[in-house]
């Protein structure tokens, strides 16, 4: 989907859900961690006002001494200043950092039991951390994961001084989704500053065509209920048939509440790609975040895998295409959208806006830039049996890079960029100790992460049945026993690292 068409999921991600999303450009359902669930009374006591840290613009050019202000949060309520107390750092990612994480989530339970001092550093270019006056492509040259890691290093060094920490103090970093990758890379690149890392749902392999994404979505749907996958596939076939003639096209306009009539778009492959990608995004977003404990899990975003498959296998709703339309309607409704916007040109115009005031600056433009220059991660329709059709291949996403950032950002550029990322970080061959890699079996991002222990010092925990970043959210009575065990295992690992 695109930024625009995918607005339902996008809003979901941005407003309610700020773990750290691997955004989509609109649509590409990203990772990201949502906000933790609030207490029963819904109150949130802000004990951690935002603070600012003077940061270098370019860590890799000593001749450039430009500075900017990076936002961070502190919680010292568990810290007693003892020599052995650890320091915890939550790594910000591709969305706004949130004060809510300073008092909630599993890392706060750990902080309480270890007496840790807690920090959270917002990622450059996201939230309120604005290194440059706007988001022009030229200014985005300082938006890289390597710069972000160096930001963290300078931050740790500065806090060691400010809090007069012992030189053997042990920093443990936490991150979910893209920050999960950063957490592992931080331990690899700066082992003298970071003693251990909890890396949740972190993709370690950069890949242009992230075809495995929909493999995991398909498997999650299939495991959920027999017939769910085939119903989706049949619904998609029915759409493709209707698209072939005028009466069918008008039917689609009505069924899917399209903002613009599709008759005018049938020959525009980008519009059609966007339409199918948006429909696939309806499913992907729900699967990726299925039943986690994010904030606002009221009736509003309690749509789960069960909801989707219950509709898809229910004959009395009508043919499969009508069941897909029912899901689309439900999501539009949930996110207060009047109609489904699938126009490619609208999405691109929105993403080309370089203002910090623009909607795309909530992360869509920045994350798209990172995917086009470092990671790829494009959630394409390549994987067979292509239950959402074959209309959003990798070229569709590369075209977006070119249309948003310029002709230089073509396939050659992107392939080189992804090779570079895998070379400098090592992909699955990352060589680290004191890192735990945590993934969930229904989170599509596990396909790019380490899910089997490869070395004793860096164990993997693979949780059956959980979605993206599940172990980071506050615990709940409904949690699967394997999720509860994983949280406990991580606590034990942290404890063992602190004894080293």
259: tokens are: 């903002």
Question: Cβ 474 to ligand NAG, closest distance in Å?
Answer: 31
Question: Is 438 exposed, middle or buried, given 0-12, 13-18 or 19+ CB atoms closer than 10 A?
Answer: buried
Footprint of ligand NAG on this chain (CB under 6 A)?
Answer: 310, 314, 316-317, 353, 355, 357-358, 408, 410-413
In whole angstroms, the minimum distance from the beta carbon of 318 to ligand NAG comes to 9
CA distance 27 to 7: 8
Is residue 177 flagged as an active site residue? yes
Nearer to ligand NAG, 264 or 314 (CB): 314
CB 125 within 8 A of CB 178: no
Distance CA 391, CA 275 (A): 9
State yes or no: is 443 an active-site residue. Answer: yes
Nearer to ligand NAG, 33 or 232 (CB): 232
| Four-point Cα dihedral 470, 476, 481, 484, nearest 10 | 60
- Cα separation, 310 vs 277, in Å, equals 22
For 197, list phi and psi in degrees, rounded to 5: -145, 135
Nearest approach in angstroms of CB 145 to ligand NAG is 23
Q: What contacts 25, CB < 8 A, 6 or more positions away?
A: 2, 3, 347, 351, 364, 365, 367, 368, 371, 400, 404
| Token pair of 354 as six digits | 């370089």
Closer residue to ligand NAG in complex, CB, 109/322: 322
Q: Which is nearer to ligand NAG, 411 or 424 (CB)?
A: 411
Residue 90 token pair: 């939550």
- Tell me which of 292, 403, 443, 479 is the catalytic residue: 443
List 48, 177, 181, 360, catalytic entry: 177
Catalytic residue chosen out of the listed positions 123, 195, 446, 468: 468
In the complex, the smallest distance separating the C-beta of residue 89 from ligand NAG, rounded to whole angstroms, is 33
C-beta closer to ligand NAG: residue 151 or 403 = 403
Give the separation between CA 332 and CA 311, rounded to whole angstroms: 16
The sign of the dihedral angle between the CA atoms of 191, 196, 202, 204 is: positive
Q: Which two tokens stand for residue 385?
A: 């049996």
Q: Considering the complex, what minimum distance in angstroms separates the CB of residue 326 from ligand NAG?
A: 8
- Of the pair 93, 364, the CB lying nearest ligand NAG is at 364
Backbone angles phi, psi at 430, to 5 degrees: -50, 135
Q: How far is the CB of 353 from ligand NAG (least distance, A)?
A: 4
The three-state secondary structure class of 352 is: coil
Q: Which residues are catalytic?
A: 177, 443, 468
């Amino acid at each position: 989907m695109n930024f625009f068409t995918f607005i339902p999921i996008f809003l979901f991600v941005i407003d309610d859900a700020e773990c750290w999303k691997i955004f989509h450009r609109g649509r590409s359902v990203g990772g990201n961690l949502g906000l933790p669930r609030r207490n029963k009374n819904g109150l949130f006591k802000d004990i951690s006002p935002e603070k600012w840290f003077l940061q270098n613009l370019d860590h890799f050019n000593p001749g450039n001494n430009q500075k900017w202000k990076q936002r961070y949060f502190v919680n010292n309520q568990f810290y007693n200043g003892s020599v052995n107390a650890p320091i915890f750092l939550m790594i910000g990612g591709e969305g706004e950092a949130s004060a809510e994480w300073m008092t909630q989530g599993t890392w706060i339970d750990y902080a309480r039991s270890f007496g840790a001092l807690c920090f959270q550093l917002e990622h450059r270019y996201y939230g309120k951390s604005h290194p440059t006056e706007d988001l022009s492509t030229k200014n985005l040259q300082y938006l890289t994961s390597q710069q972000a890691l160096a930001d963290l290093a300078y931050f740790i060094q500065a806090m060691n001084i400010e809090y007069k920490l012992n030189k053997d103090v042990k920093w443990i970093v936490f991150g979910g989704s893209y920050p999960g990758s950063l957490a592992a890379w931080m331990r690899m690149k700066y082992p003298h500053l970071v003693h251990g890392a909890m890396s949740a749902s972190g993709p370690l392999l950069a890949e242009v065509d992230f075809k495995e994404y929909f493999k995991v979505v398909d498997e999650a749907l299939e495991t959920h209920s027999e017939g769910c996958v085939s119903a989706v596939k049949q619904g998609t076939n029915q759409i493709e048939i209707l698209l072939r003639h005028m009466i069918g096209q008008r039917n689609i306009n009505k069924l899917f509440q399209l903002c613009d009539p599709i008759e005018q778009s049938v020959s525009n492959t980008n519009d059609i790609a966007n339409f199918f990608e948006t429909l696939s995004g309806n499913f992907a977003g729900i699967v990726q975040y299925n039943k986690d404990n994010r904030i606002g899990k009221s009736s509003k975003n309690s749509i789960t895998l069960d909801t989707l498959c219950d509709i898809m296998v229910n004959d009395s709703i009508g043919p499969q295409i009508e069941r897909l339309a029912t899901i689309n309607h439900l999501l539009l409704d949930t996110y207060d959208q009047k109609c489904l916007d699938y126009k490619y040109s609208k999405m691109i115009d929105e993403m080309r806006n370089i203002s910090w005031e623009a909607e795309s600056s909530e992360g869509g433009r920045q994350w798209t830039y990172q995917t086009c220059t470092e990671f790829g991660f494009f959630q394409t329709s390549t994987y067979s049996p292509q239950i959402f059709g074959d209309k959003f291949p990798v070229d569709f996403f590369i075209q977006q890079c070119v249309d948003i950032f310029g002709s230089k950002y073509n396939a050659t550029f992107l392939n080189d960029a992804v090779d570079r990322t895998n070379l400098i970080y090592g992909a699955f061959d990352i060589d680290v100790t004191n890192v735990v890699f945590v993934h969930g079996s229904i989170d599509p991002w596990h396909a790019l992460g380490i899910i089997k222990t490869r070395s004793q010092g860096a164990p993997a925990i693979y949780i059956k049945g959980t979605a993206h970043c599940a172990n980071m959210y506050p615990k709940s009575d409904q949690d699967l026993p394997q999720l509860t065990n994983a949280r406990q295992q991580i606590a034990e690992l942290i404890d063992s690292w602190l004894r080293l």
